[in-house]
A and B are shown apart, each in its own frame.
Chain A
Amino acid sequence: MAVFLAQIVNGISLGSVYVLLVTGFNLLLLVAMIIHYSFPIVVVFSMYISWIVLGLTGGNMFLGLSAGIVSAVLINILTAPMFQHIMKKRGDVDINSTMVLSMGIGMIITDFLSHSVNSGFPIAFPDSLTGRGEPAFIRLGVISMSRGDMLSLTLGIIFVLGLFWILYKTRAGRAFRAIAEDPNGAKLVGIPILKTGLQSYALTGLLGGVSAVAMSILLGSASPGLGDQLGRKVLAVSIIAGLGNLKGGLIVGISLGILEALVQGYWSGTWSNSIAFVVMLIAILVKPKGIFGMKL
């Protein structure tokens, strides 16, 4: 029981990171009409930026983490013109071409990380950030959490709630949902499509940055291949929940985190990815259009 509860809590931490990533991916898909497969690779790149800045500033947390967040927003906005070019012509362009562009961006980043940073070796974040090696931060009966776990869980929950608040309670969020349902109809009611698309870029960039911070704390390390691995997971979660289904992504993202944590707790961490994909494979066989239905 102790292991079970502890792993549920760990799973929610991990799951909230997945939710941030999946929601960013879904937003780009729905609002900007981009299949941004490499969105998680950009996030991993931001973890590397944090790590580099931490090294340069002698471990200044604030500067390191801010640099990661800023870089995620910047990359998203800088790559926007390429995607926007496709968006403008979206009548004639197949949305799949955005995926090729995204994969290209991902490949360049992954190559860069494996050649030019830390000689391609995985990077590790300092214990002062992750809270490793410290006594448990809180202990509630059988559950104990480190300071890092606590922090990333809090970040994850706050930002997931904040994100859904933006989507369902604000003017920009309403415009995002309108474009997602019917881009032509959204134009007819006077929503500026390109500008709103850009806002979704900035928001997903911010999400990416926050995910990078949460992952740096939670995972404590990163490698050049991490982005690809997360990219596959995020794509899978989005499809299994129902492509573009925001609430579905929330539920499946958290569930995946819990599933992986349970496998790690009861069996072996090295198998958690494979098992997660077996479960997802079964889910997609049973519900080919996603558990909660496609929104595209």
Chain B
Amino acid sequence: MNKSGETILSVENLFVSYGHVEALKGVSLEVKRGEIVVLVGSNGAGKTSIMETILGVNQTRKGRIIFEGREITNLSSDKIVRSGIFLVPEGRGVFSSMSVLDNLLLGAHHNLKNAKEKTAYVYELFPVLGQRRNQIAGTLSGGERQMLSIARALMSNPKMIMVDEPSIGLAPKIVNDIFKILQNLNKEGYAILLSEQNVYKALKLADRGYVLETGSVVLDGTSEGLLHNTDIRKAYLGA
């Protein structure tokens, strides 16, 4: 896959506040077609805020978001989902009272055409979801919920998937499985914007990364470069 290709998402000088709290202070970043880009930063750095703002959940105070050449700044979330962006939220965001199948179909809410084919496709990727299609999502394990949340994203025909801290609360083995899944999806052509506190694993997986501190990008570069950066090694890799 050609990763030096065209830009699919570009965020320019983004400012977002919640009341008086300034969460993002002029963030700029880019995702290219076929790339995995990781946002690294400690609690409260602004990772979720960036993703939710891209998805149209938060209003921007300043700045622009461009997806596939079209400005999507401050569009409503349903329009942004239609345009091909989907979020796998922090904490999975599955609907616990609803069945696995209902959860999947919610991902395709804006386009239920070919829903059958799409569910067949995700059941193939995640056989466990196929076996439990009629089970209530609240009864799934943490790892299964994360799979459901990723599968639900796939149901939406996304071009870019944002995955917010997928490793939270999962055993190391399951984290490896999830990262493997993300890698495979990326190979199939999905662009991925990932946020992680598991910096080492995330940089190993990603092509490039941005380091966030209190709402600003303080460093960015290729994963290779960031893995060898002394500041990063000190702050996030315990070296």
Chain A positions near chain B (C-beta within 8 angstroms): 171, 174-175, 177-178, 181-182, 184-192, 195, 295
Q: Which residues of B contact A187 (CB under 8 A)?
A: 57, 77
| B105 with A181: CB separation less than 8 A | no
| B77 with A174: CB separation less than 8 A | no
| A190 with B95: CB separation less than 8 A | no
| B81 with A190: CB separation less than 8 A | yes
| B109 with A190: CB separation less than 8 A | yes
Report Cα–Cα, A288/B93, bound state, in Å: 29
Report Cα–Cα, A65/B96, bound state, in Å: 41
| B97 with A181: CB separation less than 8 A | yes
Q: Which residues of B contact A189 (CB under 8 A)?
A: 81, 86, 93, 106-107, 109, 152, 156
Q: Who on chain A is nearest to B76 by CB?
A: A192
Bitwise interface map of B from 98 to 109 toward A, beta carbon under 8 Å scored 1, else 0 = 100010011101
Q: Who on chain B is nearest to A168 by CB?
A: B102
Q: Which residues of B contact A181 (CB under 8 A)?
A: 95-98
B22 CB, nearest partner CB in chain A, Å: 19
B57 CB, nearest partner CB in chain A, Å: 6
Report Cα–Cα, A295/B152, bound state, in Å: 24
What are the 10 tightest A-B residue pairs by CB atom distance, in nearest-first order?
A190-B81, A192-B78, A190-B78, A185-B93, A189-B106, A181-B95, A187-B77, A190-B110, A181-B97, A188-B87
| A185 with B110: CB separation less than 8 A | no
B63 at the interface (CB under 8 A from A): no
Q: Who on chain B is nearest to A295 by CB?
A: B97
| Other A-B pairs, 6, CB within 8 Å; known A189-B106, A295-B97 | A171-B109, A177-B98, A186-B106, A188-B77, A189-B86, A189-B107
B199 at the interface (CB under 8 A from A): no
Q: Which residues of A contact B77 (CB under 8 A)?
A: 187-188, 190
A-B pairs under 8 A by CB, number? 60
B82 at the interface (CB under 8 A from A): yes
B55 at the interface (CB under 8 A from A): yes
Q: Which residues of A contact B110 (CB under 8 A)?
A: 190
Report Cα–Cα, A195/B76, bound state, in Å: 12
Most buried by B among A182, A188, A189: A189
Q: Who on chain B is nearest to A189 by CB?
A: B106
B170 at the interface (CB under 8 A from A): no
B89 at the interface (CB under 8 A from A): yes
B112 at the interface (CB under 8 A from A): yes
Chain A binding surface SS class = helix
Report Cα–Cα, A185/B55, bound state, in Å: 12
Q: Which residues of A contact B78 (CB under 8 A)?
A: 190-192, 195
Provide a sorted-by-A list of 21 A–B residue pairs whose CB atoms are within 8 angstroms: A171-B109, A171-B112, A174-B98, A174-B102, A174-B109, A175-B106, A175-B109, A177-B95, A178-B95, A178-B106, A181-B95, A182-B95, A185-B93, A185-B95, A187-B77, A188-B93, A189-B109, A189-B156, A190-B86, A190-B156, A191-B106
B112 CB, nearest partner CB in chain A, Å: 6
Q: Which residues of B contact A177 (CB under 8 A)?
A: 95, 97-98, 102
B204 CB, nearest partner CB in chain A, Å: 28
| A178 with B98: CB separation less than 8 A | yes
Most buried by B among A175, A182, A188: A188
Q: Which residues of A contact B112 (CB under 8 A)?
A: 171
Report Cα–Cα, A14/B156, bound state, in Å: 44
Q: Which residues of A contact B57 (CB under 8 A)?
A: 184, 187-188
B133 CB, nearest partner CB in chain A, Å: 14
B26 CB, nearest partner CB in chain A, Å: 25
Q: Which residues of A contact B89 (CB under 8 A)?
A: 185, 188
Q: Who on chain A is nearest to B95 by CB?
A: A181
Report Cα–Cα, A181/B86, bound state, in Å: 20
B97 CB, nearest partner CB in chain A, Å: 5
Q: Which residues of A contact B87 (CB under 8 A)?
A: 188
Report Cα–Cα, A205/B80, bound state, in Å: 31
Q: Who on chain B is nearest to A184 by CB?
A: B57
A277 CB, nearest partner CB in chain B, Å: 30
Q: Who on chain B is nearest to A182 by CB?
A: B95
Given A187-B77, A188-B87, A190-B82, is A174 in contact with B93 using a C-beta cutoff of 8 Å? no
Q: Who on chain A is nearest to B101 by CB?
A: A174
Report Cα–Cα, A182/B110, bound state, in Å: 18
Q: Who on chain A is nearest to B138 by CB?
A: A181
Chain B, 1-51, CB within 8 A of any chain A CB = none
Report Cα–Cα, A237/B30, bound state, in Å: 54
Report Cα–Cα, A162/B55, bound state, in Å: 35
Report Cα–Cα, A181/B57, bound state, in Å: 18
Chain B, 88-127, CB within 8 A of any chain A CB = 89, 93, 95-98, 102, 105-107, 109-110, 112
Q: Who on chain A is nearest to B94 by CB?
A: A185
Chain B, 53-82, CB within 8 A of any chain A CB = 55, 57, 76-78, 80-82
